[in-house]
Structure 1
Amino acid sequence: MQIGESTGHSRAGGNLVTTRSRMDPRPCGDDASLRRDVNPASCTVIWRFHDDKSGHINQTRGLVKAIAEITPVETFDLPCFSRRQSCLWWLGNQFPPGENLKRPDLILGAGHATHFALLAARRHNGGKAVVLMKPSLPHWLFDLCIVPDQDGLEKSENVILTRGVLNVVNPSRSQQQERGLILIGGPSSAHGWDNPSIINQIGAIVSNQPDVNWHLTTSRRTPADLVMLLEHLPLPNLTVVPHTSTSLNWVPEQLTHSSQVWVSEDSVSMVSEALTSGASVGLLEVPENYEGRVSQGVQKLRDLGWVTHFTDWDRTRPISTTRVNLNEAQRCATLLCNKFDLVRTV
């Protein structure tokens, strides 16, 4: 086993002009490159609220990136504010954080903490409020809800249902048979955790395929003691890169070239990224606390043949699953731009 460190960064192209933060008006895009040939006056202005949770950030990044492939955009990032403060702004028709920003065409957010901020910003500044989840407020309060199909909402005029969650990954035809990726989540309300079981599954996968160079990364939910155990596994074809050592684009870059991806079944976002890449996807078994929407969604994927569960894997051969033509960010961006008439020429 080797311990790795990420050094690579990539920048998305398309029509994305610049990403700016509320506190710093200078261009600072994590997923943007400055396009000097685009007239800012022709851009769709997007305000993107974030709660510092990587899964939520990747959902809005994925949608912005896909919209930018259709029409020029200019994006401003805003942090979440307390629900009480945002609710007061909403009720009082105020939104001080947006005073010096261009008025938005779209206001995006993922995570319950963003809901009242979206509504306050829209009431005071206009634009369309789009939430990327099943909202904890009535869905008719928002102009559009983009919701995973297992979350219990029905498709309607302002609800788009998706397979999994949106992400920044593009389908790839550059997978290499000698490269594999393992993505580890952690305990959650829906799932418990079993370090020895995870270690045994990873050991079986890596040792049974000695010709594959495996990279493994973790998430913020991964127990710290598991990371220490992984770093001391006697597996020469495994490189462990903790999530704290990865760049924002490390996982998408790895997915571009990995023919096999194993994901712990607790993480809907990482499963969605793996499927979007077009790789063969396997699921590591994790204890369930109860049968809920996550486990139901996983079972649907197994029934479709889109994933192979570790308990179903034939250890004599690499996993082989149905290649999925899945790019939900692109599909939702097209529907959104058509719905709100956002397609503009440069």
Structure 2
Amino acid sequence: MEVDPSKPLTIWAVSDGRAGIENQVLGLAQAIARLAPSEIAVKRVAWRRWADRLPSMLKIAPRRMLAKGSDPLSPPWPEVWIAAGRATLPLSINARRWSRGRTLVVQLQDPRWPTRLFDMVIPPEHDEVEGDNVFPILGSPHRVTPARLDEARARFARLAALPSPRCAVLIGGRSKVFDLSDAHAAALADQIARAVGSAGGSAMVTFSRRTPPSAAEALRARLSSLAGEVWDGVGDNPYFGYLAYADHILVTEDSTNMAVEAAATRKPVHILPLEGGAPRFARLHQALEARGVSRRFEGTLNAWSYEPLDETGRAARAVLEAMAARG
């Protein structure tokens, strides 16, 4: 697609502002911007309390139902609208009408609505969504790039002093299909501590919002004897620094985002088991294993290599191709 550099694409990255969702829409928007000059606007939305209780299909005047503090959604409309999350669905299905068809509406994840309501749907392969305008990818879009890792390496240079092998330990937790009890957290921590300790390495540990506080404390207590650090949530988030400096990445099986972000680094990705599970997550991890990215953690820090995933870049090229096809 030929792009006039004097007229950059306008892209809106629309979400409810939660980090995991916003990173997906921003990741795809930024990947497009690396291929074509673009201006990206972040749009965070929330519903008024009474409107949030309504089913999405009943939000028939969605812009009027947004809570105060939501970013304005008004002309001029963007050329590309990228959205993710349940909160954005009533807005996305109206964006084409508001723009009189000039905006390419891209919905990430499985919308669980008819895909024809959007111009393009980009879900994870493991959700098995089908449709003429569906472009499935392995995992989800993200913001991990070599340049971003280089930036994090300079910003968190203190991590270079940690003994190798340095292990990034990325802990999720409780969801609809997974759990992380205190007992399981303790057993997991002991297994990690033995592996890292026997290798003479260090651990760089971070928790997600889904990590139960008591489980986080169990992990923190048992990993405190290792060299390294456990991020306490204060100050600059070192997440990208951990990815940049890691020799190994250990990530719990509940997080698609963390798994595919780790898969962009070339570092061995060890999948930490949790309690529970679901077929869709089993499909994800089978696909990552088939690509040589990850292996199930069994208490050792074996090393291997693979070609890093660039599914975000592949999706970005597909969006530009869809725009070109529209003329």
- The TM-score with structure 1 as length reference comes to 0.76
Query: How far is 1:106 from its partner?
Result: 0.9
Q: Which amino acid aligns with 1:89?
A: A
Partners of 2:247 and 2:208 in 1: CA distance: 21
Partners of 2:17 and 2:73 in 1: CA distance: 19
**Of 139, 144, 160, the match for 1:164:** 139
Q: Is 1:187 equivalent to 2:174 in the alignment?
A: yes
Aligned pair in 2 of structure 1 residues 199, 236: CA closer, same or farther (>3 Å)?
closer
Partners of 2:62 and 2:290 in 1: CA distance: 44
Q: How many residues align?
A: 293
1:137 is paired with a residue of what secondary structure?
coil
Q: Is 1:335 equivalent to 2:318 in the alignment?
A: yes
Q: Name the residue aligned to 2:278.
A: 291
Q: Name the residue aligned to 1:150.
A: 126
**RCO greater where, 1 or 2, for CA within 8 Å and sep 6 or more?**
1
User: Is the CA contact 2:203–2:229 (under 8 Å) kept in the aligned structure 1?
Assistant: yes
Aligned pair in 2 of structure 1 residues 247, 44: CA closer, same or farther (>3 Å)?
farther
Q: Name the residue aligned to 1:51.
A: 16
Q: Name the residue aligned to 1:323.
A: 306
Identity of aligned residues (%): 25
**Of 241, 254, 262, the match for 1:253:** 241
Q: What is the CA deviation profile of residues 232-282 of structure 1, one whole-angstrom value per residue up to 9, with x for unaligned ones?
A: 33423131014x33646x323331232210001111110010011111110
Partners of 2:113 and 2:235 in 1: CA distance: 34
Q: Is 1:107 equivalent to 2:81 in the alignment?
A: yes
Q: Which has the higher helix share?
A: 2
What value does the CA root-mean-square deviation take over the aligned residues?
3.0
1:162 is paired with a residue of what secondary structure?
coil
Partners of 1:297 and 1:218 in 2: CA distance: 21
User: Is the CA contact 1:46–1:107 (under 8 Å) kept in the aligned structure 2?
Assistant: yes
Partners of 1:284 and 1:208 in 2: CA distance: 18
2:193 is paired with a residue of what secondary structure?
helix
Q: Which amino acid aligns with 2:43?
A: L
Q: Which amino acid aligns with 1:209?
A: A
Query: How far is 1:130 from its partner?
Result: 0.6
Q: Is 1:122 equivalent to 2:111 in the alignment?
A: no
Q: Is 1:224 equivalent to 2:199 in the alignment?
A: no
1:98 is paired with a residue of what secondary structure?
coil
Query: How far is 1:115 from its partner?
Result: 0.9
Q: What is the CA deviation profile of residues 15-69 of structure 1, one whole-angstrom value per residue up to 9, with x for unaligned ones?
A: xxxxxxxxxxxxxxxxxxxxxxx98x61211122112322111111111111111
Partners of 1:118 and 1:309 in 2: CA distance: 38
**Of 203, 206, 227, the match for 1:214:** 203
Give the unaligned 5+ runs of structure 2. 154-159
